[in-house]
Amino acid sequence: MEELGKKTLQEPRIKFDNVSKVFETRSQEIVAVKDYSMEVLTGEFVSIIGPSGCGKSTLIRMLDGIIKPTYGAIYLDGIQVNEEGKMPKETLRKMGFIFQQPNLLPWYTVRENVALPLRIFGLSGQAWEKRVDELLELVGLTKSGQLFPYEISGGMLQRAGVIRAMVHDPEILLMDEPFGALDELTREQLNMELLDIWKETRKTIIFITHNVEEAVLLSSRIYIMGTQPGRLVSTVNIDLPRPRSLKMITQPEFISYKQKLTKLIGDLDLSKIK
């Protein structure tokens, strides 16, 4: 009871309040997101799952100031963000964005790419440089720091993209299918690394994925989105104990969550066909 009381009193870190996004293209208006609401508390790990094109990327791109919402408001620490389409650096510094593609800049070395946010946020000094090296080491890229992106593998690129988003020590991580392009083994390994990072640093994480198993394993709560228009369909709390490990995948609770989600997403596709 007490904990529940605390929770309700706590102000959400991130709040989407009836957010819609309409893209105007040459031929038509695309409603990418319609009336989306969501609240995320400090230190929570939530996932957004849904079919391709349902507006997942659009959602977190609005939060990170890349695009402007058409209707509704997004709040970060109770302050509305992204009103004018340009966000102050102090607000952006709180967030790290991991792109769907690694999105490294070909003209910088791996290390320069990882350090880019520091240069732009104006964070200099030994401590920050040391942090870059530590992060490179964390994901096994120390030896590749001086190489150019075209000289490293796809998985390495993706890992570089992940630590670039963390280099300025943001409290919030926005991850857009960060491991989507990777093979299953690497993906599982990186998921576990991500859980470690989250456990140690207690960052607030919004994680976007297509993968049900991944979502159940990582999240405290999963938002399921439907498509055309992109909208919230249901929310599922995952009350599995922590710390979580890959071993849990075969446990009955885990499997029942997985089935429940798979069914919810499946129903969604069926209703679309109808």
Ligand X SMILES: Nc1ncnc2c1ncn2[C@@H]1O[C@H](COP(=O)(O)OP(=O)(O)OP(=O)(O)O)[C@@H](O)[C@H]1O
> Which residues of the shown chain bind other proteins in the complex (CB under 8 A)?
61, 64-66, 87-89, 92-93, 95, 97, 99, 101, 103, 105-108, 116-117, 119-121, 142-150, 168
Give whichever of 128 and 148 is closer to other proteins, judged by the CB atom.
148
Kindly calculate the radius of gyration of the chain based on its CA atoms and give it in whole angstroms: 19
- Helix (H) / strand (E) containing 156: helix 154-166
The residue count for binding Mg ion (CB under 5 A) is 2
Structure tokens, 207:
């994680």
Q: How far is the CB of 139 from other proteins (least distance, A)?
A: 16
Give the Cα separation of 46 and 218 in Å (integer): 8
Could you tell me the smallest distance in angstroms from the CB atom of residue 17 to Mg ion? 22
Q: Which is nearer to Mg ion, 207 or 254 (CB)?
A: 207
Q: How far is the CB of 216 from Mg ion (least distance, A)?
A: 20
Residue ranges that bind ligand X, judged by CB under 6 A: 23, 25, 30, 32, 52-58, 100, 230
Hey, which residues between 99 and 138 contact Mg ion (CB under 5 A)? 100
For residues 178 and 100, what is the distance between their CA atoms, to the nearest angstrom?
A: 6
Determine how β-strand 45-49 pairs with β-strand 221-226: parallel
Do 114 and 160 contact (CB within 8 A), yes or no?
A: yes
As a whole number of angstroms, the distance between CA 67 and CA 70 comes to: 9
Q: Which is nearer to ligand X, 34 or 221 (CB)?
A: 34
Contact 233, 51 (CB under 8 A): no
Question: What are the E-state strand segments in 130-251?
Answer: 172-176, 204-209, 221-226, 231-237
Distance CA 232, CA 55 (A): 10
Binding map of Mg ion across residues 54-93, x = CB under 5 A, - = no contact: ---x------------------------------------
**Cβ 209 to ligand X, closest distance in Å?**
9
**CB of residue 183 vs ligand X: minimum separation in angstroms?**
19
Q: Which is nearer to Mg ion, 57 or 204 (CB)?
A: 57
Bridge partners of 224, per DSSP, are 49, 234
DSSP bridge partners of 204: 172
Between residue 230 and residue 269, which ones bind Mg ion under the rule CB under 5 A?
none
- Of Mg ion, ligand X, other proteins, none, which one does residue 32 interact with (CB within 5 to 8 Å by kind)? ligand X
Contact between 209 and Mg ion by CB under 5 A: the answer reads no
The residue whose two tokens read 């350090």 is 115
Binding site for Mg ion (CB under 5 A): 57, 100
